[in-house]
Amino acid sequence: MKIATWNINGVKARIDNLLTWLKESQPDIACLQEIKSVDDQFPRMEIESLGYHVETHGQKGFNGVAILSKLRFDEVNRRLPGDDSDEQARFMEGVFSTERGALRVVSLYLPNGNPLGSEKFLYKLAWMDRLERWAADRLMLEEPIVLAGDYNVIPQPEDAKNPEAWLNDALFQPESRGAFRRLANLGFTDAVRASTDDVLYTFWDYQAGAWQKNNGIRIDHLMLSPEAADRLAAASVEKHVRAWEKPSDHVPVVIELN
């Protein structure tokens, strides 16, 4: 089974690229972030015509996540528990029946957190605490779980071409990286790092020729519960998509589960 995550950076602006990628890559389940669309304006019909079931958790102009699946959804849970006042659309869980039992897949879009010292950074850390609590609870089910998305965290210096350029950025702060490590310490596996030690990036800024200079960072991750990690066959970054016309600044990250 092929599961992918991609921060699309506006589904309406990238719909042609999205459809081309779905036809080319053929993921069984695709998690999208930053769809920047309310639910009833999401281009559902175009995607459904390719054989996908579509579920969204949208927000006008900002944020928003979606899951596209060739499998029917058994269950859909929107919003990360733990803060009823949080209205930002950043989290959705889909539950699927497979030949090997239940599979839980989450599309998540962590807050950026910049600038440092602001409420935005505190919100990022609080959101990550809520995710950790939710994930610890879900692990009790002892089912394969895939937490896929844009984490807005650079885990290690090798995950940035120029790590020193990110020292004062929320994506590379000790608190942000520590929260990511705590998630791993619960028992989740970083699928890409478990598969390769190669230098891989998933985001290149639109500014300053970052793509041409390969000045990238790795912030899009698929974290796997032990039951999912046991089934991990491969992980890769589909970097070539960044060279397409009108690209997102992120590229798809893909895993294959046995």
Is 150 flagged in the annotation as binding?
yes
State the greatest distance between any 2 C-alpha atoms of the chain, in Å, as a whole number: 48
Identify which of 245, 161, 256 has the alpha carbon closest to the alpha carbon of residue 202: 161
Q: Do 98 and 3 meet the contact criterion of CB atoms below 8 Å apart?
A: no
Q: How far apart are CA 79 and CA 195, in angstroms?
A: 30
Q: How far apart are CA 206 and CA 29, in angstroms?
A: 27
Residues in a beta bridge with 104: 95, 145
Is 34 flagged in the annotation as binding?
yes
Is 57 flagged in the annotation as binding?
no
Is 152 flagged in the annotation as binding?
yes
DSSP result, 189-230: EEHHHHH--S---SEE-SSTTTTTTT-EE--EEEEE-HHHHT
Is 53 flagged in the annotation as binding?
no
Is 250 flagged in the annotation as binding?
yes
Containing 53, the helix (H) or strand (E) segment is strand 53-57
Identify which of 21, 45, 59 has the alpha carbon closest to the alpha carbon of residue 252: 21
Instruction: Tell me which residues are annotated as active site.
Output: 109, 150, 250
Q: How far apart are CA 177 and CA 121, in angstroms?
A: 13
Annotated binding site: 7, 34, 150, 152, 249-250
Annotated binding site for Mg(2+): 7, 34, 150, 152, 249-250
